[in-house]
Amino acid sequence: LRLPGVGAYTAAAVASIVFGEPRAVLDGNVMRVVSRLTNDSGDIRSAATKTRLQQ
């Protein structure tokens, strides 16, 4: 879901709550925890790591 002026976190939250879509809503803290639980050593600021952690 892409909306002008709306970031990925808010767009995922809207898709999940309003439309009932199964979307992961990950902020920086959640991504750090998930990366540690999955032993992912990628930089959580990179697009590739964010995509990997959201799957």
Model pTM? 0.64
Q: Does residue 2 carry a pLDDT above 80?
A: no
In this prediction, residues 16-37 reach a mean pLDDT of 92
Total number of residues shown for the chain = 55
The tens digit of pLDDT for each residue in 28-45 reads 899 999 999 999 999 989
What DSSP string runs through 17-50?
HTT--------HHHHHHHHHHTT--S-TTSHHHH
